[in-house]
Structure 1
Amino acid sequence: MQNEISGFDASPHSEVQAAFAAVAAGEMHDLPFVHPHMPVSVTPFTLFEGQWIGCVITPWMLSLLIFPGPQQCWVRRNVGERIGLRLPYGEMTFTVGEMPALAQYLSCSLMSPLARELRAEQGASLAHDCLKMALSLPVSESVSRRALLTRLKDARHA
């Protein structure tokens, strides 16, 4: 077994889509908690601090995923190990996962199981929104967006 995980030179979008679609069609297909009408949908992956980050929605879950980026090399970890990472959104806990087609990756569960009333297009939109939110700076509750924008506008006119 290799002790290091080499990074993806390009976005792992296609590999992630294929791997999770195979799981959905195989071992997860007839389980009672899967959403029967939710297809696998993967957001485009983006580089963040040298790592690929994206979101996947499957018939059984919605998760934020991180893969090693170009010229990155991760130390192999124990599957199931938990790692706290700080993203612009805040501190999030990721779990080490592994699939033969993907090697190791980090996964943060955002929803599991999926709400039955969630439609496929809503699921894909939710995955995109979750990725955007994870990479967005939080807004402090003490300063509203309106107050922040008003102050910026006032500063420009000073």
Structure 2
Amino acid sequence: MGRNVRKAAFQAPQPSPAQPIAVDPTPLLETMYQRIWATSMRDLPFINPALSVEAVGFRRWQSLTASPLAEDNSPQPSGDPAGRSRPSAQGDWVGALVTPWFINLFVLPGGGNLWSDRPAGARCHIEFPIGPLEFIADHDGSAEIPAYQYCPLFAPPGQFASQTAARAAALAALAALFSNPSPPDTEAPKSAVAKTGASRRAFFRRIAKG
């Protein structure tokens, strides 16, 4: 029977446990993406030349409970399924990054329980006050920040005419992320994927209103 078990053609290796970042990761993240911008992105056709690399709004955040969902909906040791979370001096780092080719939310390891080590390309749903959002893991052992998880907001960010406008959108996204949750849903339970999709739509509506 073992001979008939099918395996995926490629599976990203499980990374080594990420080391918590003890201080504000803004300078490291900006250095990392300024290097990427200078070495491999400048000549691509979808970049927005009005924008530059800037990390905004990074803060520590801690969940009071921990059990997010991975892509296969199995429980994992991080996140906040009840939406109960708070700022914390020992939480993981949450913020946004503006570049000429994207604006994304980031979660970086800080010793809290939002973070869980995942192979590059793996997806997980992390709960915030706004609701669950899907993040994608990435890993580069030689980079200034070897492990991070991101949630795409605008890619490419062609609608922004200036860095000021892009920064404002990133800050509005963070404000929406940490805004008070909606009243509890009294309907029948939905799947994690459906809940994530609804929360993501509400999230982007709040950004648009901002």
* Pairwise TM-score range, normalised by the shorter structure: 0.7 to 0.9
Q: Greater relative contact order (Cα 8 A, min sep 6): structure 1 or 2? A: 1
Match of 1:45 among 33, 39, 58: 58
Preserved contact between residue 119 and residue 139 of structure 2 (Cα < 8 Å): no
SS in 1 for 2:35: helix
Identify if the C-alpha distance between structure 1 residues 26 and 105 changes in structure 2 by more than 3 Å, giving closer, same or farther.
Answer: same
Question: Deviation digits for residues 24-68 of structure 1, max 9, x if unmatched?
Answer: 111011100111121111113101101100000100111000111
Q: What are the equivalent positions in structure 2 for 1:85-124 lying under 5 Å apart?
A: 85-99=126-140, 100-124=143-167
Match of 1:54 among 95, 110, 115: 95
Aligned residues: 140
Preserved contact between residue 66 and residue 106 of structure 1 (Cα < 8 Å): yes
Preserved contact between residue 96 and residue 105 of structure 1 (Cα < 8 Å): yes
Match of 1:30 among 25, 35, 43: 43
Preserved contact between residue 61 and residue 112 of structure 2 (Cα < 8 Å): no
1:98 shift after superposition: 2.4
Q: Which amino acid aligns with 1:79?
A: A
SS in 1 for 2:40: coil
Give aligned-pair identity as a percent.
24
Q: Does 1:79 align with 2:79?
A: no
Normalised by the length of structure 1, the TM-score is: 0.80
1:128 shift after superposition: 1.4
- CA separation in 2, counterparts of 1:2 and 1:138? 33
Structure 1 segments (4+ residues) deviating >3 Å: none
Q: What are the equivalent positions in structure 2 for 1:6-21 lying under 5 Å apart?
A: 6-21=19-34
Q: CA RMSD in A?
A: 2.1
Query: Which runs of no fewer than 5 residues in structure 2 stay unpaired?
Result: 1-13, 63-90, 184-210
1:115 shift after superposition: 2.1
- CA separation in 2, counterparts of 1:123 and 1:75? 29
Identify if the C-alpha distance between structure 1 residues 2 and 93 changes in structure 2 by more than 3 Å, giving closer, same or farther.
Answer: closer
More strand by share: 1
Identify if the C-alpha distance between structure 1 residues 128 and 117 changes in structure 2 by more than 3 Å, giving closer, same or farther.
Answer: closer
Preserved contact between residue 3 and residue 75 of structure 1 (Cα < 8 Å): no
Identify if the C-alpha distance between structure 1 residues 40 and 135 changes in structure 2 by more than 3 Å, giving closer, same or farther.
Answer: same
- CA separation in 1, counterparts of 2:131 and 2:21? 25
Q: Which amino acid aligns with 2:108?
A: F
Identify if the C-alpha distance between structure 1 residues 2 and 98 changes in structure 2 by more than 3 Å, giving closer, same or farther.
Answer: closer
